[in-house]
């Protein structure tokens, strides 16, 4: 009995040692295309947006500004304005967070392993600035079977009319 316990302890310790390089590297192998200091992000974002998008927080269910939005439009990164999701891929997952079955494009959202809270999950991040968006689960609807469970605090909703209108032209200089 003692020998089996000793073997279990040794194997667990060896397994944890294998994870040391991953934890000390911050766990990420992704490289941001848009980089700012924490001070710059804090000045640009609300405290809640900063906590969720830059510090990998989670907003409370049923409290985000767009969990129940049903109008056509686009969902963009609150940090860098990168297009992440289209409204026609959003569905009601019953979780209280905005959920989508696929990103706006194949390279809009990046994923990486998330071992926080002693469980394995897939974290979704903005492919441009690496803002934490939420997590991806394999229990979504057809056609993908995926559920991108996002934090509304990490998203900026742009209604279809605003998304389609051209940017205003600059006034001519005198």
Which residues are catalytically annotated? 149
DSSP states of 35-80:
---HHHHHHHS-HHHIIIIIT---PPTT-STTTT--SSEEEEETTT
Residues in Cβ contact with 74 at an 8 Å cutoff, skipping those fewer than 6 apart? 83, 85, 86, 87, 104, 157, 158, 160, 163
Query: What residues pair up with 91 in beta bridges, in sequence order?
Result: 99
Nearest to 132 by CA among 77, 87, 65: 77
């Amino acid at each position: 009995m003692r020998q089996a316990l000793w073997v279990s302890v040794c194997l667990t310790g060896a397994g944890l040692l294998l994870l040391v390089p991953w934890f000390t590297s911050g766990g990420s192998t992704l490289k941001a295309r848009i980089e700012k200091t924490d001070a710059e992000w804090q000045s640009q974002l609300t405290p809640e947006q900063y906590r969720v998008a830059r510090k990998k927080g989670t907003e409370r269910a049923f409290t985000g500004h767009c969990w129940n939005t049903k109008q056509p439009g686009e969902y963009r990164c609150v940090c860098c304005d990168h297009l992440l999701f289209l409204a026609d891929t959003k569905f009601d997952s019953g979780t209280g967070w905005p959920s989508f079955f696929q990103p706006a494009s194949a390279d809009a959202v990046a994923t990486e392993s998330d071992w926080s809270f002693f469980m394995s999950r897939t974290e979704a991040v903005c492919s441009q600035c690496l803002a934490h968006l939420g997590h991806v689960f394999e229990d979504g609807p057809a056609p993908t079977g995926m559920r991108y469970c996002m934090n509304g605090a990490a998203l900026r909703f742009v209604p279809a009319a605003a998304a389609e209108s051209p940017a205003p032209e600059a006034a001519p200089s005198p």
